[in-house]
Chains A and B, each alone.
Chain A
Amino acid sequence: GENVEQHPSTLSVQEGDSAVIKCTYSDSASNYFPWYKQELGKGPQLIIDIRSNVGEKKDQRIAVTLNKTAKHFSLHITETQPEDSAVYFCAASIGNDMRFGAGTRLTVKP
């Protein structure tokens, strides 16, 4: 089955800096790559996603890039703010079979 690896496991940045989280996947048939943000006491919430026919997608301060050949994708957050502090999960899916990375705990220091 699909295996998703995520790095780093923890990331600390200063407010205003950029943060980058990287994931790799194993199954070349995966065609949907969402990113979720999980705040304390809540379930994961989708923040951005990308499909295999697209190389990059941007939504305000958040962007995701996908390299199908290398089977890796990344989340980029620019101009980080304290409210960006959370655990971020990447995922790769084929249909509704979605597998997650282990998560990255992002801390944005004011």
Chain B
Amino acid sequence: KAGVTQTPRYLIKTRGQQVTLSCSPISGHRSVSWYQQTPGQGLQFLFEYFSETQRNKGNFPGRFSGRQFSNSRSEMNVSTLELGDSALYLCASSPPPGWGNTEAFFGQGTRLTVV
């Protein structure tokens, strides 16, 4: 079955702009989590959505937001971009609790560069 799909793979934006990233989870998965990965900080948790509701949130400013649609696809939005937002943004989906594991399956990420 298809894995987690993130689009676009690469993105270049200018400071002050906003950006929307998309994530399509594995079919049947309802939980989608977003992470920011930078060389110095590792994988930082942004937020997690389940059935269109944000269940958990990391320590990021309000410029970072997300949503999940009824088909479990998720988007994250970053407004008023700063140079420090340049990072690899990873999305992960997890199976429903009744499926056993809570393993997170990652997409390949979207590489965002802010100039």
* A residues apposed to B, CB below 8 Å: 6, 32, 34, 36, 41-46, 49, 89, 91, 93, 95-103
Residues of B within 8 A of A102 (CB): 41-42
Interface of B is mostly: strand
Q: Is the CB of B43 within 8 A of A44?
A: yes
CB of B30 to closest CB in A, whole Å: 9
Contacting A43 at CB < 8 Å: which of B31, B33, B48, B90? B90
Q: Is the CB of B109 within 8 A of A97?
A: no
In this complex, the interface size class of chain B, counting residues with CB under 8 Å from chain A, is 20 to 34
Interface string of B41-58 (1 = CB under 8 A from A): 111010010100001100
* B residues apposed to A, CB below 8 Å: 4, 31, 33, 35, 41-43, 45, 48, 50, 55-56, 90, 92, 94, 97, 101-109
- How many Å lie between the Cα of A8 and that of B56 in the bound state? 28
Q: Is the CB of B102 within 8 A of A44?
A: no
User: Residue of B at shortest CB range from A31?
Assistant: B102
